[in-house]
Chains A and B, each alone.
Chain A
Amino acid sequence: MIKAILIFNNHGKPRLSKFYEHYNEDTEQQIIRETFHLVSKRDENVCNFLEGGMLIGGSDYKLIYRHYATLYFVFCVDSSESELGILDLIQVKVFVETLDKCFENVCELDLIFHVDKVHNILAEMVMGGMVLETNMNEIITQVDAQNKMEKSEAGIAGAPARAVSAVKNMNLPEMPRNINIGDISIKVPNLPSFK
């Protein structure tokens, strides 16, 4: 079982949090902070597993994470999940690549502004803490089909809203300058494939 999936940046700011067990908001924030603390102090070239923190898990739980450019992707899993399998899931086959495909060269800004879309993609991959689909093409197909539906529903009524959001987004390209984070696209590093 996967207990939680967290994405946060190098400063510990949450970009996506998905808990498959209920915690109240404060605990959730504490977990994110604790996890960030655990993960961020690790060197780049150490292994990607570490024992769970105090708040989340227990002896049976592990944190499995990957660090890409500005983002940490952390899965908290119990012993029924294969460590290498989850690592694959994060990167080589599924999650990050799917994001990459759906957002066309995903960067932190995509996650910041479209967290709902990331949730929708994640929902096609993991459901209720269990891995639902590991085939990237299948995930993309389903996500696309749903987005298409959404567009067709918006129809004429959606037009003005779309226009406004286009206007609003006109100054989007400047945004990175305002934010001091820079848009660093997530490059999938050349890691040995575990396929």
Chain B
Amino acid sequence: MALKIVKGSIDRMFDKNLQDLVRGIRNHKEDEAKYISTCIDEIKQELKQDNIAVKANAVCKLTYLQMLGYDVSWAAFNIVEVMSSSKFTYKRIGYLAASQCFHESTDVIMLTTNQIRKDLSSPNQYDTGVALTGLSCFVTPDLARDLANDIMTLMSHTKPYIRKKAVLIMYKVFLKYPESLRPAFPRLKEKLEDPDPGVQSAAVNVICELARRNPKNYLSLAPLFFKLMTSSTNNWVLIKIIKLFGALTPLEPRLGKKLIEPLTNLIHSTSAMSLLYECVNTVIAVLISLSSGMPNHSASIQLCVQKLRILIEDSDQNLKYLGLLAMSKILKTHPKSVQSHKDLILQCLDDKDESIRLRALDLLYGMVSKKNLMEIVKKLMLHVDKAEGTTYRDELLTKIIDICSQSNYQYITNFEWYISILVELTRLEGTRHGHLIASQMLDVAIRVRAIRVFAVAQMATLLDNAHLLTGNMQRMGICEVLYAAAWICGEFSEHLENPMQTLEAMLRPKVATLPGHIQAVYVQNAAKLFATVLKNQEGNTDSTAAQETSQLMIDRLPLFVQSANLEVQERASCILQLVKYIQKLQQKDVEVAEEVCALFAGELNPVAPKAQKKVPVPEGLDLDAWINEPPSESESEDEQPKAIFAKEEPKHSRPRHTEVDEKELARRREARKQEQANNPFYIKASPSSQKAYQEAPGVEHIPVVQIDLSVPLKVPGLPMSDQYVKLEEERRQKERADKKKKEKKKRKEKRSGRGRKHDSGPESEEDITPAHMVDIVTEEMPENALPSDDDDKDPNDPHKALDIDLDNLLEAAGRRPLADSEKLPVRAHRAAEAPKSPAEDGEAENAASQEPKKKSSKEKREKKKDKDRDRKKSKEEKKKKKHKHEEKGEDLLGGQADEPVVQSEETNEVAALPTSTSAEVSDLDFWLSNAPVPSNTQEAATVAEAAPVPEAASGTAPDSEPEEPKDTEMEETKSSKHKKKKQKKEKEEKEKKKKKKHHHHHHHSDGGGEESVQNGTVEEEEPLPPMSNYCLLAENSYIKMVYDIQGNLQDGSQVVVSVIFENKCDSFLKSMEFNVLDSLNSKLQRPEGSGPHDGLTVPFQLPPGVSNEARFVFTVQSIVMPQKLKGTLTFIVKNEDSSTHEKLDFKLHFTCTSYLITTPCYSDAFAKLLESGDLKCSSVRLEGVIMPFHHLLARICFHHHFSVVERIDSCASMYSRSIQGHHVCLLVKTSGQTVSIDAKCDEPTLLGNVLDEIKQTFSQC
């Protein structure tokens, strides 16, 4: 054997190892691919050998080749082989290879489950460590499900090295198997306070990752994190926690108030830039969440800004970048504070680092003033010229326009300058933002009357030089400006110096290469120009000039008539006919100019977007009524916006909305709004100030807002009330980002604005108040859509599944209200080796079918939460029970017994709900209200009043006079933070608080036990005592075993015994063997090949204080009689220095109840069953039962696996079925303290035994 090994390694030395491979590849630079393919062939040969060392070497080389991009998935099985080597060296190679190339669809992964489990429980910590590391990279949902419980156990491992890895990997397990989150969470939370800093850091890491995606579920941990933040010295942990707080504060502003102080202290004290930066970031988040902008926080803002300035001034580019990034967050809410650092930000514009320049650009927005605007823009224009990449240049372009146009051109003092800037911008190569420039041109030309002469002249030049813009196809984006230029020249043609020249320019053949919507505008405005030209020429005596003009039109227009674009074609042919007619008249020497001009007479005024809506509906006009029969379905609605293009005949457009139903109306309104938002002819933002300024009192009910800014050229100042501007500013900065995006998008599709339809609508004063302006943004959403943060969540986001309410888990460390279906799968031999544990599966099915109302799982959790509280209340009277329960509760799976109760106690749960939730809320509230809250004193007082409630309920504070919270109480609340609960809905909070006092009394009466009967309603509210089906199997000083027996739904001859082993001593328990002396009727299922007397190895070891569950499957033949089996557990107790062999005898009691399976039954089926007459009858009477009827039912359901079919007052019918299909029906009646149970079953012996067991259950209490 030894010889073989040596021989193997001698063989091996002639194999290539990794270094040889690397060296070889480097020596074969010319034919690398060929060399590697020969290497892969060699590797394939090596993998065929038996020697594991050779295989490991081959796998190691494959890992390297994988990095170079070679697919090595073909060797997946060999990797698994190497992983399962007993030598750490090879195991590590195997796991590394697996972590590099295994993924969810690697099919051999399913072969690894047992190997990984073995490695996880290996006595060598590095085997475990290497397995955990590997698993973290390739964990699949199946692996996560199968191994969750093993990893959970490792979280309490004695070695911190293992603990921290186990804690960290839990996050991956949660992602793949979200069901594990609830059971694992309490332990994870425990690890936040682990003595080892590494473990603590890992736990913080995991919870921060979880909380980042679903922050609201983790609000209740805030007190704990707060404590960690103030006590921890590990910067890495601090950063994580502070980042987490940044995510939590938007949900709970009071948390922010509490945070400000410690964060400020940290900012002052820390020397670590990374920590300082995160603190500043979180303080900013807090300040944003405190939208009220309380005066005493201005100091915090100042501090932040100051510190950021230090960062920005630093020579380190990284700090500079981050400083600017954080600064832009402040800018949104506190622009003033940033403005004082203008110098610095302007300086950053010149930075050589593009990332920094971009960040500085973001900030520039808040920096401009009337004084420096031109200077800043000049600087930006220089950058535009220098900029190389188009992205940065486009960014500059939009920023320039943003900055200039912000707040209704507030800062522009010279519009001539602005127009020339816009014209300059049109010379940019290949920009995407042509439409943006175009809309600015239109907007300015329309709204600033005084600038028109100048604008028209500039636009005429642009049109003249159109070939420069359209010269090459790359510049297509910029040709949008021609749209604006043509329209401006046409509409304001009276200002043109040489209209004839412009007209000619607009009719050049080259125009036909422009996009359709631009050609359409060209044609239309050519007509306008034509009218102007005619007018000028008719004044002269020479009539030939006018005729020549008409001839020019007639010559050139046919080009457009042939256009493929319908819009262009239609307009061109219309105008062509018109001109032909005019020409005829001209030839007869008729003066037509005036009439032609009349076609285009009238001023186009900008209209506020809401104007149309404000038109009062005349009395007696029902807009929703059909005038004619509804049009056929096939009518193409999409065409309409284009069809009603009505710009040139504004006065004649008729209202068309009478023919549409409501939905259509809404749709159109929507479309219109969007259009208006993009239409330069509408006043988009807030013209109110101008209006207020211009329309002095006395002018009432002006139909159209006249934005006639009487600004003399070069004379500074848009007349605007400063006060109003201030109000506007903050609001707008928010809007702008959204609006800009939408505008960009829509402007493209809706280029052809239909401007004049609504111009006659009177605009009331209301229209232009800021409140309405805010509406603009929201209106662009679909009607039912609310802006919620869910919108941007990716439906495939794995984190969505982790949005699990964890609070009820935090209630008490000892008890975990986990339902059966929630517990982590435990390894049972046989039954659980199948993909799904049949027993569990069956239970899950039952649970599902028993709740025909299809309660959401959330509701279910809610209920459990209540139950949890309820249990607390009845703590005193049920001490005995509880004691038992708590012990089991230590184990993760101990809580499973609760599930059936949930199903049977709907009534009292509903009633109890408000009580418990309100109490939960108050816990967190209480903690939060400890902070001095000047603005919220009233609220704090309410909270304080309510705070003692949970304490009273849990029996720790007998009396509960409302007390003002004092700072000294803080420690106390912190220590009880395990009990902290929360309920997220902030809105509900107040309502609940009101209820608190009322419920307060109930808690007291509950404590009093019998008293509760006096109150008629209380009976329904009285909580159920804790129940558990686990009973003691055996116990000694080392170990304690509790067990529960469940029938196996799938197999009529099997029952599953779940045994929880709990290590009670300080030593390690290992090599546990579970053995039972079979009887003729019942046999323990043993693996094939083992003798009938062999014991079964318990598939885990127990570190001190840890408990775990194993399942054993028994086959039974007859189920009509209860029976007992004797058994023994043998195990080794391992101390540091010694190990002893121990054994523990036990008796397994198979009751008839354990053969019953909770099966739902509908009342009609139940009635049929009773009528069938196949069932034998039996009955039993119970005396002296003093418990509410619903408790009684719950007990029967829970302990004896029945389900309630129907309940009427003090009478209920119940049903259950045995694993062999016997029906068991009960009719339970109660009067006073006597309970009578009439039962029917097709197997009288079974029935008798079940009734006996029921009787025994009640005699015990």
Contact = CB atoms under 8 A, between A and B. Distances in A.
A156 B129 CA distance: 26
B208 interface: yes
Interface in A143-176: 145-146, 149-150, 153-154, 156-158, 160-161, 163-165, 168-169, 175
B243 A134 contact: no
A82 B164 CA distance: 21
Contacts of B168: 127-128, 130, 132
A145 B126 contact: yes
Given A22-B103, A83-B318, A153 B89 contact: yes
Chain B CB within 10 A, most for which of A24, A83, A85, A191 = A85
Interface of B: 5-6, 9-10, 12-14, 17-20, 22-23, 26-27, 60, 63-64, 66-71, 87-89, 92-93, 96, 100, 103-104, 124, 126, 129-130, 132-133, 136-137, 139, 161, 164-165, 168-169, 171-172, 198, 201-202, 205-206, 208-209, 212, 234-236, 239-240, 243, 271-274, 277-278, 314, 316-322, 352-356
A85 B317 contact: no
Given A80-B208, A160-B6, A194-B272, 12 more contacts: A29-B69, A46-B355, A85-B235, A113-B23, A114-B19, A130-B206, A130-B209, A132-B165, A150-B88, A160-B10, A179-B26, A195-B272
B355 A50 contact: yes
A1 B17 contact: no
Contact of B239 (A22, A29, A49, A85): A85
A187 interface: no
A168 B20 contact: yes
A16 interface: yes
Interface in A170-195: 175, 178-179, 191-192, 194-195
A17 interface: yes
B201 A134 contact: yes
30 contacts: A14-B68, A22-B103, A22-B104, A29-B69, A47-B356, A49-B318, A50-B355, A84-B274, A85-B236, A114-B19, A115-B63, A115-B64, A119-B96, A123-B96, A127-B168, A128-B137, A128-B172, A130-B205, A131-B205, A131-B236, A133-B201, A134-B234, A150-B89, A153-B88, A153-B89, A154-B89, A157-B5, A157-B6, A163-B13, A178-B26
Contacts of A87: 274, 318
Contact of B198 (A135, A169, A178): A135
A26 B66 CA distance: 10
A127 B66 CA distance: 20
Contacts of B87: 153
A165 B13 CA distance: 8
Interface in A100-142: 112-116, 119-120, 123, 127-135, 138, 142
A40 interface: no
B321 A49 contact: yes
Contacts of A134: 201, 234, 236
Interface string A32-62: 0000000000010111111000000000000
A175 B271 CA distance: 45
Given A46-B353, A49-B321, A85-B274, A120 B27 contact: no
Contacts of A50: 355
Contact of A116 (B96, B104, B172): B96
A14 B65 CA distance: 11
A1 to B, nearest CB: 6
Contacts of A16: 67
A115 B67 contact: yes
B353 A133 contact: no
Contacts of A156: 6
Nearest to B16: A168
A129 B212 CA distance: 15
Nearest to A89: B236
Contacts, number: 182
Contact of B316 (A29, A120, A161, A191): A191
B19 A165 contact: yes
Closest 10 CB pairs of A and B: A128-B136, A84-B274, A22-B103, A164-B13, A47-B317, A46-B353, A29-B69, A47-B321, A194-B273, A150-B89
Contacts of B68: 14
Contacts of B67: 14, 16-17, 115
A24 B238 CA distance: 36
Given A47-B317, A85-B274, A128 B169 contact: yes
A34 to B, nearest CB: 14
Contact of B133 (A115, A127, A154, A161): A127
A193 to B, nearest CB: 8
A10 to B, nearest CB: 16
Nearest to A64: B318
Contacts of B92: 120, 146, 150
A20 B70 CA distance: 18
A164 B129 CA distance: 31
A25 B38 CA distance: 20
A174 B835 CA distance: 57
Contacts of B321: 47, 49
B470 to A, nearest CB: 32
B347 to A, nearest CB: 16
A83 B104 CA distance: 30
Contacts of B273: 84, 192, 194
Contact of B69 (A26, A120, A138): A26
Contacts of A1: 209
Interface in A57-99: 80, 82-85, 87-88
B318 A48 contact: yes
B66 to A, nearest CB: 7
Nearest to B105: A22
B562 to A, nearest CB: 43
A116 B276 CA distance: 37
Contact of B93 (A116, A145, A163): A116
A29 B68 CA distance: 8
Contacts of A113: 18-19, 22-23
B236 A169 contact: no
A192 B202 CA distance: 27
A1 B93 CA distance: 25
A161 B164 CA distance: 36
B175 to A, nearest CB: 10
A80 B485 CA distance: 49
A128 B137 CA distance: 5
Contacts of B20: 168
A23 to B, nearest CB: 9
Contacts of A157: 5-6, 9
Contacts of A48: 317-318
Chain B CB within 10 A, most for which of A116, A153, A168 = A116
A7 to B, nearest CB: 10
A45 B321 CA distance: 12
A120 B9 contact: no
Contacts of B354: 46
A35 to B, nearest CB: 14
Contacts of B322: 49, 83-84
B63 A116 contact: yes
Given A115-B64, A120-B92, A134-B236, A128 B171 contact: yes
A47 B126 contact: no
B63 A47 contact: no
A125 B729 CA distance: 48
Given A28-B69, A84-B273, A149-B126, A168 B137 contact: no
Given A46-B355, A48-B318, A83-B318, A158 B9 contact: yes
A48 to B, nearest CB: 5
A112 B319 CA distance: 33
A20 B137 contact: yes
B794 to A, nearest CB: 10
Contacts of A123: 96, 130, 133
Nearest to B14: A164
A165 B168 CA distance: 37
Given A47-B356, A191-B316, A133 B274 contact: no
A39 to B, nearest CB: 13
